[in-house]
């Protein structure tokens, strides 16, 4: 056996490589040729699911719950009726607006009479101007009451225009319109995740009534180590939840460092048509990296020592050990990312013994 020493000046380590000549009188070990090819690294991680949109639905004023149409777990469409309530404040705002509208009409009728009287010289111009000012004041009061009422309706996600609602009040009256408007609608399609009230309960202004999540699409935040960032930025990623899986779409933006875990967070978006993915859940994510050139060797050609992986390469009648970086085995073959070249002849039978027994002094690290 012949040896040579290589000193690493940076670390102060001498690597002693010993070359073992062919074993005299022994059967030559079986070998295989390293073949060039491509390999797609596959890595897994865990991701936290979050809904793209969430809402805690409440009432902008105190009310009594008179109807509940959904239970937790119910799927709803945008605009679906979720609950009904009776709110004195809503009735008051409707009544105040109705009274203001009546005052506008009375002021306008009086102004019409004043203009006719002025044309007949029965009144002065000043009286007609005063009538016009009364109309403007009544209209301003009406607008103020409408804005107050419209703000209530907006908080309830109810879209109504003033003309339509005015005609409805004239036809049906304030009590009937208040009952019709006393409903809580879904602002978007989603899943009812929690109900905070009971039928007949009196709730205060701002109290939560229902919680709703939009789960047709969700975000998934994946934590990966810094060394793996380059791999995760190319290739394809899929989520797995039991027997169900689906593709992930990476979102633009740089990875964010999480000081709590020491990992870098990558955000993805996923379609969730069956709502399998729930907000706050942790699921497994698999990433298949972009193809990269490697050389393939039989799994038996790779052996381990001191936390590292090695191949025994045959050069003519001599053998040498080579430290290699590898990926996981695929169909009894191992991709070698670095350390070998295509055409290298590697030992496939007895490599373990050569490294651990016959070549037990092959590699020595000397301070």
State the pLDDT at residue 5.
Answer: 42
Instruction: Kindly indicate the confidence band of residue 360, based on its pLDDT and cuts at 50, 70 and 90.
Output: low
Instruction: Kindly indicate the confidence band of residue 355, based on its pLDDT and cuts at 50, 70 and 90.
Output: confident
- Partners of residue 311 on adjacent β-strands: 322
State the pLDDT at residue 165.
Answer: 94
pLDDT top residue among 253 and 21: 253
DSSP string, 150-206: HHHHHHTT----HHHHHHHHHHH-HHHHHHHH-EEE-SSSEEEEEE---TT-EE-TT
Is residue 108 left, alpha or beta, with left meaning phi > 0 and alpha meaning psi from -120 to 50?
A: alpha
Task: Report the C-alpha gap between 19 and 362 in whole angstroms.
Answer: 7
Q: 303-305 and 308-315: which strand pairing?
A: antiparallel
State the pLDDT at residue 118.
Answer: 87
Domain limits, the chain: 2-38+293-362, 43-52+215-288, 56-210
Asked if 4 contacts 260 with a C-beta cutoff of 8 angstroms, the reply is: no
Cβ neighbours of residue 179 under 8 Å, at least 6 residues apart?
86
Percent of the chain with pLDDT over 90: 58
**CATH class of segment(s) 2-38+293-362:** mainly beta
**Tokens standing for residue 109:** 């009728």
**Tokens standing for residue 139:** 């209209």
**Tokens standing for residue 51:** 């809904």
Instruction: Kindly indicate the confidence band of residue 367, based on its pLDDT and cuts at 50, 70 and 90.
Output: very low
CA nearest neighbour of 48 among 287, 247, 241, 227: 241
State the pLDDT at residue 215.
Answer: 83
State the pLDDT at residue 335.
Answer: 96
Instruction: Kindly indicate the confidence band of residue 333, based on its pLDDT and cuts at 50, 70 and 90.
Output: very high
Q: In the predicted model, is pLDDT for residue 7 greater than 80?
A: no
Fold observed for domain 43-52+215-288: Elongation Factor Tu (Ef-tu); domain 3 (2.40.30)
Instruction: Kindly indicate the confidence band of residue 21, based on its pLDDT and cuts at 50, 70 and 90.
Output: very low
CA 126, 130, 135 angle in degrees (round to 5)?
Answer: 150
State the pLDDT at residue 139.
Answer: 95
Asked if 85 contacts 184 with a C-beta cutoff of 8 angstroms, the reply is: yes
Average pLDDT over residues 147-163: 87
Q: In the predicted model, is pLDDT for residue 301 greater than 50?
A: yes
pLDDT in tens, 188-243: 888 898 999 999 999 999 889 999 988 888 999 999 999 888 889 889 999 988 88
DSSP string, 292-360: EEEEEEEGGG-EEETTEEEEEEEETTEEEEEEEEE---BTTEEEEEES--TT-EEE-SSHHHIIIIITT
Instruction: Kindly indicate the confidence band of residue 9, based on its pLDDT and cuts at 50, 70 and 90.
Output: very low
- The mean pLDDT value of the chain amounts to 86
Percent of the chain with pLDDT over 70: 89
Task: Report the C-alpha gap between 233 and 267 in whole angstroms.
Answer: 11
Q: In the predicted model, is pLDDT for residue 19 greater than 60?
A: no
pTM higher than the cut 0.95: no
DSSP string, 3-44: EEEEEETTTTEEEEEEEBPP-TTSPPPPEEE-EEEEE--EEE
2-38+293-362 and 43-52+215-288 in the same fold: no
State the pLDDT at residue 28.
Answer: 75
- Partners of residue 39 on adjacent β-strands: 292
pLDDT in tens, 262-292: 999 999 999 987 788 888 899 999 999 889 9
Cβ neighbours of residue 71 under 8 Å, at least 6 residues apart?
192, 195
Task: Report the C-alpha gap between 54 and 75 in whole angstroms.
Answer: 14
Residue reference for tokens 């996923």: 270
Looking at residue 259, the DSSP 8-state letter turns out to be T
Average pLDDT over residues 57-84: 91
| Phi, psi dihedral angles at 52 (to 5 degrees) | -70, -30
Average pLDDT over residues 86-107: 95
Least confident interval from 49-53, 147-151, 358-362: 358-362
Q: In the predicted model, is pLDDT for residue 177 greater than 90?
A: yes
Q: 202-203 and 183-185: which strand pairing?
A: unpaired
State the pLDDT at residue 16.
Answer: 37
Asked if 156 contacts 178 with a C-beta cutoff of 8 angstroms, the reply is: no
State the pLDDT at residue 18.
Answer: 43
Average pLDDT over residues 334-356: 90
Q: In the predicted model, is pLDDT for residue 317 greater than 80?
A: yes
Instruction: Kindly indicate the confidence band of residue 33, based on its pLDDT and cuts at 50, 70 and 90.
Output: very high
State the pLDDT at residue 253.
Answer: 83
């Amino acid at each position: 056996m012949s040896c040579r020493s290589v000193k690493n000046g940076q670390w102060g380590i001498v690597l002693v490589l010993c070359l073992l000549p062919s074993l005299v009188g022994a059967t030559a070990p079986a070998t295989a040729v390293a073949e060039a090819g491509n390999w797609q690294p596959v890595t897994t991680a865990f991701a936290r699911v979050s809904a793209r949109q969430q809402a805690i639905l409440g009432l902008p004023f105190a009310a009594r719950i008179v109807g509940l149409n959904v239970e937790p777990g119910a799927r709803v469409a945008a605009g679906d009726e979720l609950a009904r309530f009776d709110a004195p404040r809503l009735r008051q705002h409707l009544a105040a607006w109705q009274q203001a509208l009546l005052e506008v009409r009375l002021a306008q009728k009086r102004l019409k009479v004043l203009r006719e009287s002025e044309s007949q010289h029965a009144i002065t111009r000043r009286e007609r101007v005063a009538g016009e000012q009364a109309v403007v004041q009544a209209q301003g009061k009406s607008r103020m009451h409408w804005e107050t009422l419209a703000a209530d309706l907006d908080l309830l996600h109810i879209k109504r225009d003033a003309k339509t609602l005015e005609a409805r009040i004239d036809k049906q009256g304030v009590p009937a319109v208040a009952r019709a408007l006393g409903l809580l609608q879904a602002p978007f399609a989603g899943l009812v995740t929690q109900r905070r009230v009971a039928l007949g309960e009196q709730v205060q202004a701002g109290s939560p009534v229902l919680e709703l999540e939009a789960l047709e699409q969700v975000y998934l935040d994946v934590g990966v180590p810094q060394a793996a960032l380059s791999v995760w930025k190319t290739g394809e990623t899929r989520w797995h939840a039991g027997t169900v899986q689906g593709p992930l779409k990476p979102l633009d933006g740089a990875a964010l460092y999480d000081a709590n875990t020491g990992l870098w967070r990558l955000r993805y978006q996923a379609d969730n048509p069956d709502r399998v993915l729930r907000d706050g859940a942790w699921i497994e994510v698999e990433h298949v990296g972009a193809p990269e050139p490697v050389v393939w060797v039989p799994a038996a050609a790779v052996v381990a020592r001191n936390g590292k992986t090695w191949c025994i390469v045959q050069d003519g009648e001599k053998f040498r050990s080579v430290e290699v970086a590898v990926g996981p085995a695929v169909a009894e073959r191992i991709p070698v990312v670095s350390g070998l070249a295509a055409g290298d002849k590697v030992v496939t039978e007895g490599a373990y013994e050569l490294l651990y027994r016959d070549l037990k002094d092959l590699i020595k690290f000397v301070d």
